[in-house]
Structure 1
Amino acid sequence: MKSDRVIVFSKLTSQSVRLFISLVIIFSGFFTRAETSPAPEKKDPLTNSFVALCYHDVSNGFVGNAFSIRKKDLIEQFDYLKAHYNVVGLQDIIEASQGKKVLPPKAVLITVDDGLASFYENVYPLLKTYKFKAVFAIVGKWTEDGVAPDYGFKDTNPKMASWKQLKEMSESGLVDVVSHTYDMHQGQVFNPQGSQAPMAAFFRYDSITKSYQSEEDFVNRVQMDLRKNNELIKKHLGKDNSVIVWPYGASNGLSRKAAEDVGLKIQMTLRAGLNNASDISQIGRGLIFADMDLPQFANVLEHAFVDSSPLRMIRVDLDSIWKKNEAEAEQVLGDLLEKTLALGANGALFQAVSDSGDAYFPTSQMSVRADYLNRAAHTMRHRSRVPNVYARVPQTFLKNTETAKAVIRDLAKYTDIDGVFFEVSSKEKAKELSFEPVMAAGRSVRPHWQYGVIGPRPENAEIFDYLVLTPQQLEKEKLEAVPNSIKQKQDIIALPKDYNIVASHVMAEGYLNLFYDVNFKDVVPDPDFKTLFSVRQSNAKHIKGEAK
């Protein structure tokens, strides 16, 4: 075989030999790679992930409110970030989203809200020292006026950074100056009882006409405000802006769409969890508080601000609270709020429709007993510090999918809640609603909403965030070997009035989400009950503008 090869090669010219050898090398390399190239590696889910921090005021020593940290504490935090994390800028994240670069591991984005002068005086010099970048969100009207109204300080309100200072920082390459709205950093009345909530997230209630703002008016107001602030930024800084940082981290589906339509493709909110550059349309951030020491700072960073506490939820029946005399109802509600605050539960499930089928929220799809769910749920969240507030809606009163879509959308428009639990009986399970379009209708207004089912586990259980099961239903599933029935993070176990033995049993099996299925108004919590349901985080904070 070797002699045959020599004969062949001897018949070739030196030029053709070189060409032949080159082709052999090229094609042999091609086939070798084809045969030995490894299978595509699975993408690491942490690739291009990042945590976003939200600061406000930084003082030289005096702490004005829960969001005003001392400069010396910020230096400690910056030292920690320098040693353990990689601080990235907004442009780094944008380029990673475009596939132009990969973010470093343990990436952190620094954002500072409100446009205060303390940023220029205390934070900007540190950015230069540490070579960090930051996003600085300004409220246009506050910048023009020179002070922030009602910011929470004892004696005076802080000054704002001037346009001259903003331009200097913007041109440094260290600071991205973005929009925090022109004049929507404030609360507005959003129910008949006078409660207030962020302007960009809820519909205004007019006490004179006794009516709510229309969707068209809401969208127009948001767009006019956002355009005005973008025009100011362009005028003074000479740059186009594509970022909106929502005041209080609060928006809804309509305001998000309005922002997109005026070119604000990157939107920042307040939300726990890792972000990823693959989708920067909604960037979640974690709040940094004045009383947060360095170990706490390190802990929230490590867990991306996620609270892993199990859900401990109480039941609130509005039928037992609402009275024809609203003053009497307020007294009953006030007593309930104090009892809930003392308990420390982190979830509440409110009756949204009376036992007779009348709604406790505005809707054209059924008779309305009172517009009171929003008042009760909002004050439960803010005065009793219950972070997860849901509405319970019996499927019986929803009739069909189209009616259900309209009802749930109205519920989303006119209440400050976190989602809906559908109450479904065994009989109704055979004629289940098409829940996906119903849930989508609610999320068109409240994109963050979660959904649950109270009753037998549905065949499409995977579309729900939670399933509320009785201990009997749970045991039945085990006996019947229901496929994929063991989902301890999704399942919430409904406890009976005599809860002790049942709670101990299900918790020993790993079911930690609990719902006390007794009207809490009639409950006198004993020490064991308080121990079981007191899971609220000790650092739960009041966000100004939302809790009136």
Structure 2
Amino acid sequence: MLKKIFILIFLCINNETALKAFENNNFIILSYHNITDQVTTDNFQQSGEDYSLPAQQLTAQFQWLSENGYTVISMDDVLQAKRGEKTLPEKAVLLSFDDGYQSFYQEAFPLLKAFNYPAVLGIVGSWIEVPEGQDVKYEEKKKIPRDKLMTWEEIKEVQDSGLIEIANHSYALHKGIPGNPQKNLEPAIATHQYLPNLGKYESDHAYLKRVHEDLKKNSDLFHQRLGKKPRIMIWPYGATNMKVVKIAHDLEMPITFTLEDKINTVDNLTLCGRKLAMSFTTLGDFIIDIYDLSHPPLDPFRTVRVDLDYVYDPDPKIQEENLSKLVQRIYEMQISAVILQAYADPDGSGNIKEVYFPNRHLPMRTDLLNRLTWQLRTRAGVEVFVWIPMLAFDINREDLLVKSYDPQSAKLYVDKERYRRLSPFHPKSQKIIHEIYEDLSKSSFFAGIAYHDDGVLSDFEDANDFAFQEFLRDSHLEITLSEAIQNPEYRKAWASWKTQKLIDFTKSLTETVKIYNPFVKTMRSLFALPILNPDSEEWFSQNFDSSRVTQFAAKGWESKRKT
């Protein structure tokens, strides 16, 4: 049975960029799909045309851009600005159209010519290769007639017009593939496929080989059909990671488009964000969307914390019932984000022996995290922050653990009253933790990481030789461990050093997560005393000002154990 869910309401600030109004050499990208006059509010839900925009709405949007000081630019303009050859206008907009619908040729292209607006057109090669008169397998259970898509001749015509740049949208990876044992279909280009016949996921090598072959096949096809290879990669569904970004770069596509809402800068074209146009967006909503990109609103952010131990059940049927009830409840409560505990801690000790995702170092209680994050994202429409320890992974290696110093006996020991934490200073511990985080990131799609409250070191920790010798090297001091603890000045310096090292370690873990979840946001639990009384830093190795976080949870020391 599902337990109660406690709600925390706080303000969320996007900590990746504090966007200001449009500035020179910044630009936004608008993303369109099917342009048609045939979609109506009556048949919209049945047809599933979530991204079909009536032509009159596109015309109204173009007209508004023209009349309100916006300049539609090309990718050549962006690259010239990057090289310092020109400066983009203050309100620069780049237009993109995905999938190569026939409606682009019939509706959008004439409109672009009328306004003299350049655009980028993303093409899925395997769809265009389908012979005339046959159906195109558009999604897993959806087909569209071949004549709903452009021909190679039409694609070549729009390219040769000088207004349209053709971009790689994958050859045959614009689809979902099984991303977990429960057979959820997830973006093929960013997912390690689950192989039910083998009971495991495809290897990293097989995954990267599959993506490389697909992107290369499409680029080579463009060269054959259109006379040139693409320099832009548009990720299907906006899903990507830094591994496949490198593949695109190696295939001479250094510019890639996602579906993140953000303003782009010419200095960084690796992951350009785009604003997705939805069906039946009124002109007023379109104007608000443009304004919000440059003036992001500060909205109330309602969150819940969910413990996967209460969803888990040894009986798969009961577990699936629990999961469905949870997702429905989250949806009905109009939650903004879920903080989802990714580890098993049934005894509430805080010492993590099992997790809910495949990895190299800890037993997996069951493969549940991917399933629930995907269901929450697609069914409940919420962001998921994965809640996971920084250090408290109960690996059976005493030599790798955080050590305390006993001033009476001058001996080192593992404090049994605290979390059993891997030392953030030991190279082997660092490697283990980074690999756990990499496996976590590889296993699921999520919006952020919520670092647990175990990222703490007392005034007697971490006293292992790796930590103290590193402190001596950084501080240029020649003192003993006993002196560092007994001398108030040295003790304060040691505490500040440990505080910064924990912050740096968190940042390094975030960078590891970004390999597979490049847009991840972070939050970290800090204890209350270091916030209320900065002098208590040496008891915790935490300092609010040094942390420089915009999302945080303050906790009392007494709340260490789960109730």
TM-score normalized by the length of structure 1: 0.75
- For residues 121-520 of structure 1, what are the structure 2 equivalents within 5 Å? 121-145=106-130, 148-150=136-138, 157=145, 159-304=148-293, 306=296, 308-355=298-345, 357-393=353-389, 395-397=391-393, 399=422, 400-425=429-454, 428=457, 430-431=461-462, 434-456=505-527, 474-476=531-533, 485=545, 490-493=550-553
Which has the larger displacement, 443-452 or 100-109?
A: 443-452
Which secondary structure state, in structure 1, belongs to the residue aligned with residue 380 of structure 2?
coil
**Alpha-carbon displacement from aligned partner over 1:296-322 (angstroms, at most 9, x marks no partner):** 101111222856424322111011110
Which amino acid in the other structure matches residue 361 of structure 1? Answer: F
Name the CA distance, whole Å, in 1 between partners of 2:108 and 2:122. 14
Alpha-carbon shift at residue 493 of structure 1 (Å): 4.3
Which amino acid in 2 is paired with 1:226? L
Is the Cα–Cα contact under 8 Å of residues 526 and 553 in structure 2 kept in the other structure?
no
Q: For each residue in 1:259-296, what CA deviation from the matched residue of structure 2 results, as whole angstroms up to 9, or x when unmatched?
A: 11111111111111110112212211010001211111
Q: Which residue of 2 aligns with 1:96?
A: 81
Q: 1:308-348, CA deviations, whole angstroms, 9 ceiling, x for partnerless residues? A: 42432211101111000011011011111111001111111
Q: Which amino acid aligns with 2:61?
A: Q
- The aligned counterpart of 2:53 is 69
Change (3 A) 1:412 1:483: closer
Q: Which amino acid aligns with 2:54?
A: R
Q: 1:89 to 1:380 in 2, by over 3 A?
A: same
Distance in 2 (CA, whole Å) between partners of 1:342 and 1:495 is: 28
What CA distance in whole angstroms lies between the structure 2 residues aligned with 1:152 and 1:203?
Answer: 17
| CA apart distance, 1:421 | 2.0
User: Is contact 2:358-2:439 (8 Å) kept?
Assistant: yes
Which amino acid is the alignment partner of residue 91 of structure 1?
A: D
Q: Deviations over 1:67-114 (max 9, x none)?
A: 001001111111011111111111111111111111111000000001
Provide the rounded CA distance (Å) in 2 between the counterparts of 1:69 and 1:144.
25
Distance 1:447 1:352 in 2: 19
Amino acid at match of 2:90: P
Which residue identity lines up with residue 86 of structure 2 in the other structure? K
Structure 2 CA distance for aligned equivalents of residues 235 and 98 of structure 1 = 30
Q: For residues 181-231 of structure 1, what are the alpha-carbon distances to aligned partners after superposition, in whole Å with 9 as ceiling and x for unaligned? A: 100000000111111110111100001101111111111111111111111
Letter of the 2:34 counterpart: D
The amino acid that maps onto 1:55 is: Y
Cα distance in 2, alignment partners of residues 248 and 176 from structure 1: 20
Gaps of 5+ in 1: 1-43, 457-469, 497-516, 523-548
Question: Residue 487 of structure 2 corresponds to which residue in structure 1?
Answer: none
Please give the alpha-carbon distance, in whole angstroms, between the structure 2 residues aligned to 1:151 and 1:217. Answer: 23
**In the alignment, what sits opposite 2:483?**
none
Preserved contact between residue 139 and residue 176 of structure 2 (Cα < 8 Å):
no
Alignment-derived partner of residue 500 in structure 1: none
Distance in 1 between the 2:555 and 2:359 partners? 32
Higher Rg of the two aligned structures: 1
Structure 2 distance, partners of 1:81, 1:237, is 31
1:315–1:348 Cα contact (<8 Å) kept:
yes
Change (3 A) 1:308 1:110: farther
Q: CA deviation at 1:61?
A: 3.1
Q: Aligned partners of 1:178 and 1:427: how far apart in 2?
A: 48
Evaluate the alpha carbon distance shift between residue 363 and residue 426 of structure 1 in structure 2; reply closer, same or farther with a 3 A threshold: closer
Secondary structure in structure 2 of the residue aligned to 1:132: coil
**Alignment pair present for 1:51 and 2:28:** yes
Instruction: Please state how far the C-alpha of 1:494 moved relative to its aligned partner.
Output: 5.8
Whichever residue aligns with residue 328 of structure 1, its letter is I
Counterpart of 1:346 in structure 2: which amino acid?
A: S
CA contact under 8 A between 1:179 and 1:245: conserved in structure 2?
Answer: yes
Instruction: Give the drift of 1:453.
Output: 1.6
Distance 1:307 1:150 in 2: 36
Residue 449 of structure 1 deviates from its aligned partner by 2.1
Counterparts of 1:260 and 1:269, CA distance in 2: 15
Q: Check conservation: 2:376, 2:384, Cα contact below 8 A.
A: no
- Give the aligned length: 442
Matched residue type, 2:308 = L
Equivalence for 1:120: 105
Computed over aligned residues only, the root mean square deviation of the Cα atoms, in angstroms, reads: 2.9
Contact 2:340 2:386 in 1 (8 A): yes
Contact 2:530–2:543 (Cα < 8 Å) also in 1: no
Deviation at 1:234, TM superposition (A): 1.1
Q: Residue 181 of structure 2: SS of its match in structure 1?
A: coil
Residues 420/493 of structure 1: CA separation in 2 closer, same or farther (3 Å cut): closer
Amino acid at match of 1:383: R
Paired AA for residue 199 in structure 2: K
- CA distance in structure 1 between the aligned counterparts of 2:261 and 2:276, rounded to whole angstroms: 9
Task: Give distance in 2, aligned partners of 1:230 and 1:149.
Answer: 21
The alignment-based identity, stated in percent, is 27
Once residues 279 and 119 of structure 2 are traced to their aligned partners in structure 1, the CA distance between those partners, rounded to angstroms, is 19
